[in-house]
Amino acid sequence: MDSSRVAVIIEDDSDIRELIEVVLRQSGFEVHACNTGVEGVAAVESRRPDIVTLDLGLPDIDGFEVARRIRLFSDSYIIMLTARAEELDTLLGLESGADDYLTKPFRPRELRARVAAMLRRPRAQGAGTPTNTADGQPAAPEQQSGASNAGDWPGEVKGTPAAAGLRHNGLTLDPGTRTTQVEGDDVELTRTEFELLQALLETGRVVRTKADLVRRLRYEDYDTGSFISDADERAVEVHIGNLRRKLGDDPRAPRWLETVRGVGYRLAPSRD
């Protein structure tokens, strides 16, 4: 097992903190736990974790502010924990910077499932934890686009990095470099937004249901029967909303992201 995986827990309830610690240790993480938001931000800065669990209600600064501060310097995978379902609804209406959400009380296996999903996702090159080779040199381009991610990217043209970018109506998304451009200008997307956009670019006019997109974010290649809640589907809606705003896409006359009412999303028709 990869012993370099690090987690930071930001949680003021000691029972929950201990539960999370146990789950993450069992999943192979080196765990650092903090009671307050300020300590948590400092721990993320010094430990550079792969994953952060973040309680929304903390004694000093709230989880939104903690996430905002973390996002200034870190691409860590943030799981936000909320005490009540109503809080979750508020949370999903805002751009919190979190990648995933859990409502308390939760079962250890729910947290384990989210951690497992996070671990299936490919790492962004050069962001967060270093992905360079042991001698400090960046991995060669053919390594980045080829064998290391084989099977992760069904739409990627293997072995031809120059042709690997997905294009549609002036937007380019490159899974190899994890970059997105609109008319040549870079657009900064979170990992989750990037993966949703990639999923829709790959399947074009085929409708993707919200549940299908949740599974894609969990890196489940097919319906494995894992539980998908309303909150999971709401989270997809929120991420799509944030994605539209960042791309400058108009939902009423979409250039890229078309809503199929009551079902899900697909790529808007080509304007070429």
List residues binding Ca ion (CB under 5 A). 12, 55, 57
Cβ nearer to Ca ion, comparing 63 with 264: 63
Cβ nearer to Ca ion, comparing 14 with 26: 14
Residue pair 81/11 in contact by the 8 Å Cβ criterion: yes
Q: Determine the angle formed by the axes of helices 108-120 and 14-26, rounding to 10 degrees.
A: 50
What is the separation of C-alpha 130 from the centre of its chain, rounded to a whole number of angstroms?
17
* Position closest to Ca ion via CB: 57
Cβ nearer to Ca ion, comparing 12 with 95: 12
The nearest distance, CB 192 to Ca ion, in angstroms, is 24
Peptide bond into 105 cis (omega under 30): yes
Provide the b/e sequence for 72-93 (b: ≥16 CB within 10 Å).
eebbbbbbbbbeeeebbeebbe
How do strand 179-182 and strand 171-174 relate by DSSP bridges?
Answer: antiparallel
Cβ nearer to Ca ion, comparing 30 with 62: 62
The nearest distance, CB 101 to Ca ion, in angstroms, is 15
The nearest distance, CB 12 to Ca ion, in angstroms, is 5
* Phi, psi dihedrals of residue 61, rounded to the nearest 5°: -115, 150
Residue pair 246/180 in contact by the 8 Å Cβ criterion: no
The nearest distance, CB 238 to Ca ion, in angstroms, is 22
DSSP 246-260: HHT--TTS-SSEEEE
Cβ nearer to Ca ion, comparing 58 with 214: 58
For residue 268, count other CB atoms closer than 10 A to its CB. 19
The nearest distance, CB 102 to Ca ion, in angstroms, is 13
Nearest CA-CA partner of 208 in 150, 198, 272: 198
Cβ nearer to Ca ion, comparing 16 with 199: 16
The nearest distance, CB 267 to Ca ion, in angstroms, is 41
